[in-house]
Amino acid sequence: MKEVRASREEFARQVAERDSRARLGYAEAAEYLGISVRALRRAVVSGLIPTVKLTGKTGTTLFERSALDAWVEASRVPARKGPLAP
């Protein structure tokens, strides 16, 4: 029972730590959005999602959580009014 409690506490700590990060890599951003990394890359190449590019040998690309949230909000489709189609 103590092992289960310790596992839950560790999981909660990891989630809190991950959620507190303001910038995410490709894999984390894709998971956060619930899409594949490939779909995320296509959105970036299309200019739909802003990124943060770090200089250096790797040229790491990061995503600001607030920018991802704004993209999701901007992509929202309003509910249709009226009867449902048969």
Q: Compute the mean pLDDT over every residue in the chain, rounded to the nearest whole number.
A: 84
DSSP 55: P
pTM: 0.63
Of 56, 55, 59, 67, which Cα lies nearest the Cα of 24? 67
Residue 86, classed as helix, strand or coil, is coil
* pLDDT of the residue at 19: 58
Q: Give per-residue pLDDT as tens, 17-56.
A: 665 568 999 999 999 999 999 999 999 999 999 998 887 7
In whole angstroms, give the CA distance from residue 62 to residue 55.
11
* pLDDT of the residue at 1: 65
Residue 75 clears pLDDT 80, i.e. is over it: yes
Q: CB–CB of 27/36 below 8 Å? A: no
* pLDDT of the residue at 54: 85
Note the CATH architecture for domain 22-74.
Orthogonal Bundle (1.10)
**Top-confidence residue, 18 or 70:** 70
